Structure 1
Amino acid sequence: MNFNPVFNIAEICYRLGVRDVVISPGSRNAPLIVSFSRHPKLETYVISDERSAAFIALGMAQKSKSPVVVVSTSGSAGFNYAPAVAEAFFQNIPLIVITADRPPEWIDQRDGQTIHQLNLYGDHVKKSFQCPVDIDNEDAAWHLERNISDAINLATDGPKGPVHINIPFREPFYPSIDEKPQYKLAKTIQKSFTTRQLSSADWANLVDEWNFHKKRLIVVGQNEMSTELDLVLGEVKAKKHIPVIGDTLSNIHPIPEVVKSHDVFIDAIDERTAKELQPDLLITFGKTVLSKGLKKYLRKNKPKAHWHIQQDGLVADTFQSLTRVIPVTPINFFNSVKDIVAKGDHVYSQQWLELHKRAAEFMNEFHASEKFNEFSTVHTILSNLPMSCDIHLANSMVVRYASMIGLSHTHRQIETFCNRGTSGIDGCTSTAVGSALKAKKTTLLITGDMAFFYDRNAFWHQHIPENLRIIVLNNHGGGIFDLIEGPWKLPEKEKYFVTNQPLKAKNLAEEFGLKYYHCASIGGLSKGLGKFWVQDGHAKILEIESSIEVNTEVFKKFKQQAKQLWNQPILGKA
């Protein structure tokens, strides 16, 4: 077998921006393992659990904003990448999945580790590339290298996303010990990228429509942190009197007076207030909007016009009111908007802001007076963060708590992440581990016990980053099912939904060599966090145990008091 085309795969990946490769051990992928591991400029990570490996690669790509390669052997190994591939697809993360395969003639012949790997991930990759098997042939070698370039260029072109490269190998496929890769022989295809601009005619139409609508509202979905965006959006917000709504995952918290307590009041306001808050023009950008309450509100109280700003890709009509898609970047759009003379309705802007301020005050007062519980614990954690860190929020109740509470505009060096592409709990820890491997600052994961123990193999390797901090809210079960309507009245709730479990994080910490801390009071938490943040060469776990019953009681009390606070009209006074 001529190994040079396989060695060229690593070089092509490097030339097109790949710096990190996650390898799942196997036999059929031996040529790929040798190719990547012997490359002098690529960093390789060996992760045995394929599901965890793919999520770690996803976290690395998410943090580095660069394509990351993940490599598996043939058979079911590649199937285990599927959850992370789906997450990468819906979050637009450039994950380069390379699976080794058996020769095509051995498919359906009951040969070991042989399955149908062509189009393995279906519609959850931008494209699947099937490579030739006989790469000793010059044309086949050219085709292989062409596929690698095309795949990486496609993954990094907008909208970014995962691609799958399937490469069959015939035996013998183990290079000799003294095989010397000649990486300089590789040929790459470079692709230039452009940024779209609106035509003058399109922009004139937008200006006319903008001037026609007075009550304008901006809603931001999950988004990457950007200082440039914060500056221009903050300027538009202030000069044009436009309320801006952004939950924790929008990462626009550095902008002063962003409405981020909407989940506290949006379900509690009366009909008159709801109508007064109804926008004429809704402007959105970003991915998933976390708040179910906000989505229900805007679907019921539809704007007259809804613009969504997105440079490329499929556009979702989340609020069932979309009237215009603007295919530019948010920075480009708001830099143009700030020069429009027409301002918005100042009273309308103040109405949203007044609700936000009252909700934030209510939140602080409530948590200051409550007994020990999960919700108040998250409030304390977010009030005692280091000045600079990344926060990963696990799915289920953790991300909802954090979204209700929000981050302060003083947290300018804190970015939040969450796997809201598919909203699963299966890879939250592994994603945080991958992100921490590429971060130069503290990476904090706040997670529930079910998500934490589900992904315990996130630590089953030799690459645990010392800047990783994990806070486990352990209520010994799926407490969310006591908080959402439906399950809580069913007799099957405890056994089939909550699924109580007795595990503690201490044993896992000892098994994988992480420092362990325990807490069971708010006072103890405030004191213990200082030691927890210290960088001393060790990853750390802080386990906070609580009761599902108490958590449920406190959260329902919170929602009830919020409802009472806004049970009468309060607007129209600005």
Structure 2
Amino acid sequence: MYSNKKIVQSLGEILISKSIFHIIISPGSRNAPIIIHFTQHDYFKTYSIIDERCAGFFALGIAQKIKKPVVLSCTSGSSVVNYYPAVTEAFYQNIPLIFITADRPKKNIDILEGQSINQENIFKNHVESSIQLTEEESKLGLWYNDRLINESINKCILKKKPIHINIPFSEPLYETTNFLQVKPKIIKTLPVINYIEKSKYYKKEEFIWKKSKKKMILLGLYHSEKKLEKILKKLSIDPSIVIFTETTSHVYGKLFFSCIDQLIFSIKNQEWINLKPNILLTIGGNIISKKIKFFLRKFPPLYHWHIGENIKNYPDTYYSLTNFWSIKPEFFFKIFHGNNLQSSDYRYRWEILRKKRIKKNNIFLKKEKSFSDLKVLFFIFKSIPKYSILQLGNSTIIRYYQLFDKKKYSVKSYCNRGTSGIDGCVSTAIGYAVKSKKIVTLIIGDISFFYDSNALWNNYTPNNFRIILINNGGGNIFRFLSEKKISKKIFNFFETKHFLTAKKICEMHNWKYEIVSDKLSLKNNLYVFWNKSDKPFLLEINTQKSNNAEILKKYLSYLS
């Protein structure tokens, strides 16, 4: 059984031709033709997520795992706008999502019709393609829709960016047929590999690279390929090169510097001036560390080169960009390789600093006896099972993870750092877990969790999914970030104080739940936390008795 709307039949057949079959549907009436067609078609795997905001991030999590486009469908009106947080996150994280929104016919817009808003191009600033289809079922109308659908989905695949397909539907909406009435045109897309041809045009850059004795490679958000990791490992033996990586970079090497904030947070200006690079080479997207942004902007390098595909605007993050290379990093390094090692003590000087920081880190954590966010998270990060997946909440959690050495390179970690919002962290993690056979653990703060608690309202959360909820009573990051003393009345609008727990939410959704507030209880619960279970498991850790912001400040001050 199929929808009798030819536009929907064409859309389905084009998706099949491009091997796209995960469809996240939010229930509604105007999108009834899509619901009928895709849920009855044997090819598609459909999921029902009622909250469109959660649905958007749930789809993002699946796409993050399978590295292929995922489709979403919702009804018309305000439901469409609820997709926007996930649209922006997918755009800046380079995640391919296909947002299909049902709409009223154009003649019904702006005449006080229910669930009607101006949906055409509503996401235009944050999608690779935005198309408005026609209901016309003539030969010309079908050709027009087929062309636009092919072109838009091909952009989604090639650019790894979200797209928006808006489809007007006139009533009746629920009519069906037993036979397909269309045979849409299929336009294939073939990827083109860009590369640098070694020529006289790069003689100057080659000379600068080879002669420089202080080169810093900084990786931000990057969906890594093993090729790049191998190249960087070879480069890391060059004494003139330091390689800084973040949690979201997904590359690992013994000589890489992976704890940026631990290393530089307490560094003095003069120290940085002595250690700053001549050449800064950046790869990937957003950088989590605010401190390295501060130093690179205040004391910029002589040259800043950025490598990145599918970027419309030059990412001049540090206000000093001199070269932009719109290619894959491995092609860049075919020319700018490290065969001629420079005589330099640059990496050695950073290594000395790192050893000092690690020593002080160990002393502080050994002395500190509080049951604080810092101590709890340090203990948890050491306990994560090998070969599992770690999803991290935004704000404080991801920043704490940046402080500690990740010796378990087998643990892959993810965080929504496209726009860095707290919305959707739980939904994304569950979406990822749905397609993963490994244990998936989300570590998240209380405000982020409660903000996205609707994520638990679904029928798909696997039993291998775990949440560790750090409940410090609300928004502690603002106590850390604010350097000036703010009156209590004003501060109440920054920090979200509360006395909530996740107990009732877990009962409502039939999750296993435990709460701890001391080290012994935490240790005992973690001992069984990742064991096989017949339910998803949430472990809540209450750290409200500790002055978490002050302990973190004391820790960072002690490192210097």
State whether TM-score is above 0.5: yes
Of the candidates 347, 350, 355, which is equivalent to residue 349 of structure 1? 347
Hey, what's the Cα distance between the residues in 2 that align with 1:393 and 1:259?
Answer: 20
Q: Could you tell me which amino acid in structure 2 is paired with residue 482 of structure 1?
A: R
Q: Could you tell me which amino acid in structure 1 is paired with residue 225 of structure 2?
A: S
Structure 1 residue 549: Cα displacement: 4.9
Q: Secondary structure at the match of 1:517?
A: strand
Structure 1 residue 36: Cα displacement: 1.4
1:387-426 paired onto structure 2 within 5 Å: 387-408=386-407, 411-426=408-423
Which residue of 1 is the match for residue 167 of structure 2?
167
Tell whether 2:267 aligns with 1:269: yes
- Would you say the 8 A contact 2:517–2:543 is kept in 1? yes
Of the candidates 12, 33, 36, which is equivalent to residue 35 of structure 2? 33
Hey, what's the Cα distance between the residues in 2 that align with 1:349 and 1:337?
Answer: 18
Structure 1 residue 45: Cα displacement: 0.4
Q: Secondary structure at the match of 1:463?
A: coil
- Would you say the 8 A contact 1:75–1:115 is kept in 2? yes
Structure 1 residue 232: Cα displacement: 1.5
Structure 1 residue 493: Cα displacement: 4.4
Which residue of 1 is the match for residue 235 of structure 2?
236
Q: Secondary structure at the match of 2:218?
A: strand
Which residue of 1 is the match for residue 380 of structure 2?
381
- Would you say the 8 A contact 1:225–1:415 is kept in 2? no
TM-score by length of 1: 0.93
Which residue of 2 is the match for residue 322 of structure 1?
321
Tell whether 2:76 aligns with 1:78: no
- Would you say the 8 A contact 1:233–1:334 is kept in 2? no
When the two structures are aligned, how many residues end up with a matched partner?
555
1:18-29 paired onto structure 2 within 5 Å: 18-29=20-31
Hey, what's the Cα distance between the residues in 1 that align with 2:484 and 2:107?
Answer: 50
Q: Could you tell me which amino acid in structure 2 is paired with residue 474 of structure 1?
A: N
Which residue of 1 is the match for residue 122 of structure 2?
120
- Would you say the 8 A contact 1:380–1:522 is kept in 2? no
Hey, what's the Cα distance between the residues in 2 that align with 1:211 and 1:553?
Answer: 45
Hey, what's the Cα distance between the residues in 1 that align with 2:344 and 2:521?
Answer: 44
Tell whether 2:526 aligns with 1:529: yes
Which residue of 1 is the match for residue 139 of structure 2?
138
Percent identical residues: 36
**Cα shift readout 1:351-372 (whole Å, capped 9, x = no counterpart):** 1122122222322322222111
Structure 2, unaligned stretches of length 5 or more?
none
Query: CA, structure 1 residues 488+525, in 2 after alignment: closer, same or farther (shift >3 Å)?
Result: farther
- Would you say the 8 A contact 1:215–1:344 is kept in 2? no
Of the candidates 242, 256, 259, which is equivalent to residue 258 of structure 1? 256
Which residue of 1 is the match for residue 514 of structure 2?
517
- Would you say the 8 A contact 2:361–2:559 is kept in 1? no
Segment drifting more, 65-74 vs 315-324: 315-324
Query: CA, structure 1 residues 70+487, in 2 after alignment: closer, same or farther (shift >3 Å)?
Result: farther
Q: Secondary structure at the match of 2:355?
A: helix
Tell whether 2:131 aligns with 1:129: yes
Q: Could you tell me which amino acid in structure 1 is paired with residue 417 of structure 2?
A: R
Structure 1, unaligned stretches of length 5 or more?
564-574
Hey, what's the Cα distance between the residues in 1 that align with 2:365 and 2:111?
Answer: 63
Q: Secondary structure at the match of 1:129?
A: strand
Aligned residues: CA RMSD: 1.9
Which residue of 2 is the match for residue 480 of structure 1?
477
Of the candidates 500, 524, 543, which is equivalent to residue 497 of structure 2? 500
Query: CA, structure 1 residues 505+453, in 2 after alignment: closer, same or farther (shift >3 Å)?
Result: same
Query: CA, structure 1 residues 423+153, in 2 after alignment: closer, same or farther (shift >3 Å)?
Result: same
Query: CA, structure 1 residues 525+357, in 2 after alignment: closer, same or farther (shift >3 Å)?
Result: farther
Tell whether 2:286 aligns with 1:288: yes
Segment drifting more, 390-399 vs 352-361: 352-361
Of the candidates 353, 360, 363, which is equivalent to residue 361 of structure 2? 363
- Would you say the 8 A contact 1:309–1:325 is kept in 2? yes
**Cα shift readout 1:323-372 (whole Å, capped 9, x = no counterpart):** 1112221223234433x533235411111122122222322322222111
- Would you say the 8 A contact 2:9–2:182 is kept in 1? no
Which residue of 2 is the match for residue 311 of structure 1?
309
Q: Could you tell me which amino acid in structure 2 is paired with residue 148 of structure 1?
A: I
- Would you say the 8 A contact 1:196–1:311 is kept in 2? no
- Would you say the 8 A contact 2:14–2:150 is kept in 1? yes
Q: Secondary structure at the match of 2:241?
A: coil
Q: Could you tell me which amino acid in structure 2 is paired with residue 282 of structure 1?
A: L
Hey, what's the Cα distance between the residues in 2 that align with 1:443 and 1:415?
Answer: 10
Query: CA, structure 1 residues 539+488, in 2 after alignment: closer, same or farther (shift >3 Å)?
Result: farther
Which residue of 1 is the match for residue 462 of structure 2?
465
**Cα shift readout 1:70-98 (whole Å, capped 9, x = no counterpart):** 00011111111011101111111111000
Q: Could you tell me which amino acid in structure 1 is paired with residue 158 of structure 2?
A: D
- Would you say the 8 A contact 1:249–1:403 is kept in 2? no
Hey, what's the Cα distance between the residues in 1 that align with 2:151 and 2:510?
Answer: 42
Hey, what's the Cα distance between the residues in 2 that align with 1:331 and 1:503?
Answer: 49
Which residue of 2 is the match for residue 571 of structure 1?
none
Hey, what's the Cα distance between the residues in 2 that align with 1:184 and 1:110?
Answer: 35
Structure 1 residue 413: Cα displacement: 2.5
Which residue of 1 is the match for residue 440 of structure 2?
443
Query: CA, structure 1 residues 488+157, in 2 after alignment: closer, same or farther (shift >3 Å)?
Result: farther
Q: Secondary structure at the match of 2:481?
A: coil
Query: CA, structure 1 residues 455+441, in 2 after alignment: closer, same or farther (shift >3 Å)?
Result: same
- Would you say the 8 A contact 1:7–1:36 is kept in 2? no
**Cα shift readout 1:205-236 (whole Å, capped 9, x = no counterpart):** 43222123121111111112433322211111
Segment drifting more, 542-551 vs 453-462: 542-551
Q: Could you tell me which amino acid in structure 2 is paired with residue 169 of structure 1?
A: F
- Would you say the 8 A contact 1:373–1:550 is kept in 2? yes
Structure 1 residue 122: Cα displacement: 3.1
TM-score by length of 2: 0.95
Which residue of 2 is the match for residue 434 of structure 1?
431
Query: CA, structure 1 residues 336+521, in 2 after alignment: closer, same or farther (shift >3 Å)?
Result: farther
Which residue of 2 is the match for residue 568 of structure 1?
none
Tell whether 2:151 aligns with 1:154: no
Structure 1 residue 267: Cα displacement: 3.5
Hey, what's the Cα distance between the residues in 1 that align with 2:309 and 2:133?
Answer: 31
- Would you say the 8 A contact 1:151–1:163 is kept in 2? yes
Hey, what's the Cα distance between the residues in 2 that align with 1:306 and 1:494?
Answer: 39
- Would you say the 8 A contact 2:213–2:344 is kept in 1? no
- Would you say the 8 A contact 1:481–1:493 is kept in 2? no
Query: CA, structure 1 residues 479+215, in 2 after alignment: closer, same or farther (shift >3 Å)?
Result: same
Hey, what's the Cα distance between the residues in 2 that align with 1:304 and 1:548?
Answer: 48
**Cα shift readout 1:45-69 (whole Å, capped 9, x = no counterpart):** 0000111011101111112110000
**Cα shift readout 1:163-220 (whole Å, capped 9, x = no counterpart):** 11000011112123xx225398333211111121112224444322212312111111
Query: Structure 1 stretches (4+) deviating beyond 6 angstroms?
Result: none
Which residue of 1 is the match for residue 543 of structure 2?
546
